Amino acid sequence: MTKKICIFPGSFDPITTGHVDLVKRALPLFDKIIVAVGINTQKKYLFPIEQRMDWLKKVFAEDKKVQIDQYEGLTAHYCQKVGAHYILRGCRHAADFDYEKTISQLNHIVGGGLETLVLIAQPQYSHISSTIVREIIKGGGDASPFIPAMVKIKQ
Confirm whether 154 is domain-assigned.
Answer: no
pTM: 0.94
**Pseudo-torsion of CA 18, 21, 25, 29, nearest 10°?**
80
Buried b (16+ CB within 10 A) or exposed e, 78-104: bbeeeebbbbbbbbbeeebeeebeebb
Confirm whether 139 is domain-assigned.
Answer: yes
Average pLDDT over every residue of 29-52:
94
- pLDDT bracket for residue 154 (50, 70, 90): confident
pLDDT at 125: 95
Confirm whether 155 is domain-assigned.
Answer: no
* Structural domain that includes position 64: 5-146
- pLDDT bracket for residue 41 (50, 70, 90): confident
Cis peptide bond N-terminal to 123, omega within 30: no
pLDDT tens across 83-126, in order?
999 999 999 998 889 999 999 999 999 999 999 999 999 999 99
Checking if the pLDDT of 60 tops 70, the result is yes
Confirm whether 17 is domain-assigned.
Answer: yes
Confirm whether 151 is domain-assigned.
Answer: no
Domain count, the chain: 1
- pLDDT bracket for residue 42 (50, 70, 90): confident
Confirm whether 152 is domain-assigned.
Answer: no
CATH number, residue 25 = 3.40.50.620
Confirm whether 134 is domain-assigned.
Answer: yes
End-to-end CA, the chain: 48
